[in-house]
Structure 1
Amino acid sequence: MADGMPHAPLVTRADSDAVVTLTLNRAAARNALSRAMMATLRSALEDIAAEASLRVIVLAAEGPVFCAGHDLREITAHRTDTDGGAGFFAATMADCGALMQAIVHHRLPVIAAVEHVATAAGCQLVASCDLAVAGAGARFCTPGVDIGLFCSTPAVALARAVPRKAAMEMLLTGAMIDAGEALRIGLVNRVVREGAALEEAVDLARGIAERSAVAVQMGKRAFNAQIDAPLAEAYRVASATMVENLLAADAAEGIGAFLEKRPPRWQHR
């Protein structure tokens, strides 16, 4: 049950060839990340990881808010627990960290399609995705400081997506930024007309899905392994991946096709 509506799933799924769209479907609650919502989304990601025919994931949302962050009503309800809510709060943050890492470490690229507002852990969700497309009316903030709860966990994803000082300004002021500013600092990759974010994200996903799946998946894995490593370790990881990739059938096919001036025929292995 979602928001009193029987049988309404918290996350819906739609497949189109090699692209799968997951849509947050808790609009009446501003798509807040309750523990049930996070578990459902993580389960959907796990299911997709096991389906070899899929190439790219798009993450969208129903309703007037992309995601309002953690479910503050759910959190507040547990303040009457015998431990003051400490156990529930710890489990909630662990669930959130696991979800964000599931996106980062997923074998497939994940593209956020953002309309309207993404706040706090909702902004964290966008920052955790590999790519993001925003409608012109989209806005982003990490406003925990306004309610005495610094957005420490959103800061992990935000600081890895945008420059340090841009992240700190968002975190320290809680100020809302528009889609244009999000594009300028690198939180999103593209800004499109309002209402067109999902269409653009799916088009972007289809373009990626046309590439060699083995190359894309190796590349995502190596990128995330090297990005925060010391320079020598980063080159070790990247070099090992290049060797692994060169030994793949698709690399032989792609290089051969380039030299022969013909389109490649990917085997995705």
Structure 2
Amino acid sequence: MIDTTQTYRHILFEREGAIGYVTMNRPAKRNALSIEHMQELTECFRAIGSARELAVVILRGNGPVFSAGHDLAEMLGQPAEFYQHEFDVCTDLMETIVGMPQPVIAQVHGIATAAGCQLVATCDLVVAAEEARFATPGVKIGLFCSTPMVALSRAIGQKKAMEMLLTGDFVSAHEAREAGLVNRVVPADQLAAATRALAEQIAAASPLVVGIGKQAFYRQRDMPLHEAYRYASDVMASNAQLADAQEGMCAFLEKRKPQWRGQ
């Protein structure tokens, strides 16, 4: 069971039923991703990943923006070892989000730029306020957004990704939805409720089965077609034997709500 009393310097964690909330809490720094901030996020997501009582996670930011990316003030005048460590920590965070069984929904307001945009692209689902904007502007300051590129190029098409990376220009929430970076765009005053509704919809399914499906999705994505089908067939055959799958099928046939056991 996850420890809800754990305190962090740069983030907040709350639990509401089967939904966990991770809130970036550096509003004065526009939720810039310092090394310590990213390490805290990784630690929290890892703890959530092992918590069977949580079915889905919402990632959000306090203050005027979601996240302005890496903390540039921390990066000035550092040795090579610092930069390698910085981007290794960032990679660890992104891989932790992808690898954890619970879907992570980004609740985005204001802007999400550079590594903040990378964080959005890494999350499994994204709900954005109408005024939200997204950019990978590193090219404008002499530091190409190479690590954000990894997540961005896997979330949207090649041409739009290259445009964002090469120009550094902002795209609107509606453009981001059209490109595949965002799932839903809602008025700002409906952002929290819309994100919560999506989380509750996911939480109604078997968390065990959702976790299996999330892992399978990312593993098969870059496989050749035949290999992907063989892998997915094995996963689905194993899934079908689970108690939750048997219960779900019985409940459907009996026209009743399933009772998940997590087995």
> In which range does the TM-score fall when normalised by the shorter chain?
over 0.9
Instruction: Give TM-score, length-normalised by structure 2.
Output: 0.95
Provide structure 2 residue ranges, at least 5 long, that are not aligned to the other structure.
Answer: 1-6
Structure 1 residues 237, 137: closer, same or farther in 2, change over 3 A? same
Asked if 1:72 corresponds to 2:69, the answer is no
Counterpart of 1:254 in structure 2 is 248
Q: CA deviation at 1:196?
A: 2.9
For residue 232 of structure 2, the aligned residue among 232, 238, 242 is 238
1:83-133 CA distances to partner (integer Å, 9 max, x unpaired)? xx1000000000001100100111100000000000000000000000000
Counterpart of 2:3 in structure 1 is none
Runs of 4+ in 1 over 3 A off after TM superposition: none
1:122-149 CA distances to partner (integer Å, 9 max, x unpaired)? 0000000000000011000000111111
Q: CA deviation at 1:214?
A: 1.6
Q: Give the alignment's Cα RMSD to 1 decimal.
A: 1.2
Letter matched to residue 266 of structure 1: W
Instruction: Give TM-score, length-normalised by structure 1.
Output: 0.93
Paired residues, number = 257
List aligned pairs for 1:99-248, cutoff 5 A. 99-248=93-242
Q: CA deviation at 1:195?
A: 3.8
Q: CA deviation at 1:43?
A: 0.6
Provide structure 1 residue ranges, at least 5 long, that are not aligned to the other structure.
Answer: 1-6, 79-84
Letter matched to residue 204 of structure 2: E
Distance 1:237 1:258 in 2: 26
Distance 1:112 1:257 in 2: 32
Residue 185 of structure 2 aligns to a residue whose secondary structure is: strand
Distance 2:247 2:83 in 1: 51
Distance 2:39 2:125 in 1: 22
The alignment-based identity, stated in percent, is 49
Distance 1:161 1:196 in 2: 24
1:54-74 CA distances to partner (integer Å, 9 max, x unpaired)? 100000000112111111110
Letter matched to residue 248 of structure 2: G
1:167-216 CA distances to partner (integer Å, 9 max, x unpaired)? 11100111100111011111010001014323211221111111011211
**For structure 1, which segment, 200-209 or 18-27, has the greater mean C-alpha deviation from structure 2 after superposition?**
200-209
Does structure 2 retain, via aligned residues, the 8 Å contact 1:60–1:66?
Answer: yes
Does structure 1 retain, via aligned residues, the 8 Å contact 2:8–2:40?
Answer: no
